[in-house]
A and B are shown apart, each in its own frame.
Chain A
Amino acid sequence: MADSIISFLAAMIRYSTPLLFVALGVLVMEVSGIVNMGAEGMMIIGCLTGVVVTHHLNNAWLGGLAAMLVAGLFGLLFGALVLEFRINQTVLGVAFNLVGAGLTTTLNRAFFDGMNAGTTYGSFLGFPIPTYIAIGLVILAWVAMYKMKIGVQMRSVGENPVVVESVGISVKKLRYIACAAGGALVGFGGAFLSTGILSQFTENMTDGRGFIALAAVTFGKYTPFGTLGGVLVFGIGETLSYRLQAGGGAFPYEFALMLPYILTVLALCAFSRNAKDPAALGVPYVKSH
């Protein structure tokens, strides 16, 4: 019994790792006041980039780095469209998801079909090293948000950009930083899914994790450790779902597949009714002076 609990927890932690990166990326952007509805699209781009670069350079870390770079650039593009042209963030997010899915599907079919990553990340005490990095990032995010100047500024810009501008800090600069860092984290989450958990790219393999990440951040009331909690809720569901499918019993697998999502929705309903979004979340900012 104890063994099976430990193996369940271990699986849960492993399956939660990609989502944790993505959720932290979403968190960074949302705290600064930008709704990243396009995380799903940025993540799938990370998935493909990760596999392709890992395969060619035979190094998972370089694959992950490349995914960060590419998705980070998409993050910057998202930022530019939002900050310079003030495009509606929700609509833009949907567009990014469509582009991400379409682009990766087309490129994959045309050039990389069936490509195997070939290698993966090293592991330590049974867990892949990126898992430790992800947990380290949760702590780092907490330190940055509550112990560092940049965190005070980021939280402020998500609440009231006018105040931030009034003390001579550039709202755009802060939000561009958030977009680039957020995109890169989301991208690494994608790469870890395709080269750390699995070893190849499949179409739409992100399976809504970009949206689940949004839910996890809301569940976590826009705090790093809260977000970790939200990610683990989904992780429990996902692990249970695999177990139920693998068990081969009478449990209909369609319901097993639904489980992580239903659990996430229930958790949101139960614990996040009073979650207060950053006041300026999704609101375009126009400099007044």
Chain B
Amino acid sequence: MNFIELKEITKIYPGTVACDKVSVGFRRGEVHTLLGENGAGKSTLMNVLYGLAKPDGGTIFVNGKETEIDSPKTAIACGVGMVHQHFMLIPTLTVVENVILSLDEKKAFIDKKRVAARILEISQKYGLLVDPYAKVSSLTVGQQQRVEILKALYKNCDLLVLDEPTAVLTPQEIRELFVAIRNLIAEDKAVIFISHKLNEVMEISKVITILHLGKVVGSVNACDTNARELASMMVGKEVSFEVARGEQKLGGTMLEVKDMHAKDSKGVETVRGLNMQVRAGEIYGIAGVDGNGQSELIRGIVGLCKKTGTVLIGGEDMSKSTPRQILDKGVAHIPEDRQGMGVVMKMPIRNNLVLDTFYDEKFTKGVFLDWKKVDGQAGYLIEHYGIKTPDAGNPVSSLSGGNQQKVVVARELDKQPRLLFAVHPTRGVDIGATQFIHEQIMAARDAGCAVVLVSTELDEIISLSDRIGVIYEGVILGEMDRKDANYERLGLLMAGKRDEAAQTVGKEG
């Protein structure tokens, strides 16, 4: 029997039907994935389930009984627990204080010892180890997520909703999360897993329900399907994972980094004597677990953080140059932190599309901006790059993650760069937009641009790169050509095991 069943749920927002008669049931003891692109209606459906949105039609059954869930409190009382994509934690409070806050008990005085003991008990039972007295700000993202799950379990939830839980995790943390999810299932809890990373979905789910444009496309058992089928159901058309690569026109060395050192914001040296070369017409993929110096490497090269060592761009020494001077050499940068570095969220889309070129003669009349020309450029980019928006004057914050990233990609690639840095270009972006962005990066490479691609997603690295370097503790630990790359070898290098990785070369034949 279904523990919770949603029947013909409809939710209408002005202008869109977010959920259109969606029916889906969740059983105890299994992971049920909701799969769909941004805007498919997953979040709306979960908000209805959690009492955050009032449905315009349909009913919810809990243990077979019709139940009205009008607030998160009711939802919690029904046994629903939710881990939001953006954590609901107070960083300056300890774990135990955060749990206490979420309980809202009647008593005026708090009993940290009792709560901490219960947290420890739950965390041991499910393998979600965390120090109850640690300040949340001192925890890693993965540990913070555990705190969120513990908060839900503390309130005795029987159904746990995990909204894109792996988007912010390292591969190792994802393994740990999956272990915890399996423990939950073993204890007869129900888990709703929301994601669009197909490999993960295939691995962890029992049942997969695919949503597209607010409707259920189908429900399948994971064992009866494959990633390709899921992808086409999700996007509503055939999806190709292979990015068509044109003939390589390899040119001279466009980027050379010699003995570079750089520190992160805490003063820890994260780039430690790194060397690399990238030629025109190739995609150089940098694989590695987050935090191994990727961030400081790219920021250092484009002049956004201090570094020592030599950086040659097109043969010229740019080690001491400002970001503007570096950009003027034909460098484009799709930065890692889209909302912090890539766009100005509150500014209109049109402004964002000329954010680093507005001073160009193309867009100015004397000291004034020529808004007609800016509008012309914006209109061209919006159409050419398929940015979905009714009006170029809307703020970027009104766009979905994928479309925000398209704004950045459009702006950067329209410059027809000689050297492109693409850092996590598809993080938090749905499949349709991912495919598009991959094609654009490949087109730049085919046109002779040197591309440095930084990603933690091995699929992305392997499908795009001509050459791959694995970054580990601030150096490139190993390099290989596209034809020699495989998961095992890359995975071992990412874990710092160079010798074991070397042994895999022969095996491949």
Given the known interface contacts A149-B100, A149-B109, the answer about A168 and B71 at a Cβ–Cβ threshold of 8 Å is yes
**Cβ-defined contact, B108 with A148, below 8 A:** yes
A205 to B90 alpha-carbon distance, docked (Å): 40
B91-A159 in contact (CB<8A): yes
Q: How many residues of A contact B (CB 8 A)?
A: 21
Contact with A along B99-118 (1 / 0, CB 8 A): 01110110111100000000
In the complex, A54 has a CB within 8 A of chain B: no
Contact B88 A166 (CB under 8 A): yes
Q: Is the CB of A159 within 8 A of B93?
A: yes
Task: Please determine whether A163 and B71 come into contact, CB atoms closer than 8 angstroms.
Answer: no
- Given A148-B110, A155-B93, A169 contacting B104 (CB threshold 8 A): yes
Nearest neighbor of A288 in chain B, beta-carbon distance: B52
Interface residues of B in 29-82 (CB under 8 A from A): 52-53, 71-73
Is B107's CB under 8 angstroms from A163's CB? no
- With contact pairs A149-B100, A164-B101, A166-B72 given, residues A159 and B92 touching in the complex (Cβ less than 8 Å): yes
- Closest B residue by C-beta to A160: B90
B323 → A minimal CB distance (Å): 28
B271 to chain A, nearest CB (A): 26
Q: Which of B105-155 contact A (CB under 8 A)?
A: 105, 107-110
Does B473 interact with chain A (Cβ within 8 Å)? no
Contact residues of A: prevailing secondary structure: helix
- The answer to whether the Cβ of B89 comes within 8 Å of any Cβ in the partner chain is yes
Residues of B within 8 A of A160 (CB): 90
Does any Cβ of A come within 8 Å of B97's Cβ?
yes
Known pairs A159-B93, A168-B71, A289-B52; A152 contacts B100 (CB<8 A): yes
Residues of A within 8 A of B88 (CB): 162-163, 166-167
Of all chain A residues, which has the CB nearest B87?
A: A163
A163 near B105: Cβ-Cβ < 8 Å: no
Other 6 A-B pairs with CB < 8 A, given A147-B110, A276-B92: A149-B110, A159-B91, A164-B101, A167-B72, A279-B91, A279-B92
What are 24 A-B interface contacts by the 8 Å CB criterion? A147-B110, A148-B108, A149-B107, A149-B109, A150-B108, A152-B97, A155-B90, A155-B92, A155-B93, A159-B90, A159-B91, A159-B92, A159-B93, A163-B88, A163-B89, A166-B88, A167-B72, A167-B88, A167-B101, A168-B104, A276-B92, A278-B92, A289-B52, A289-B53
Which A positions have Cβ atoms within 8 angstroms of B?
Answer: 147-150, 152-153, 155-156, 159-160, 162-164, 166-169, 276, 278-279, 289
Q: Give 4 nearest A-B pairs by CB, closest first.
A: A163-B88, A156-B90, A159-B90, A167-B102
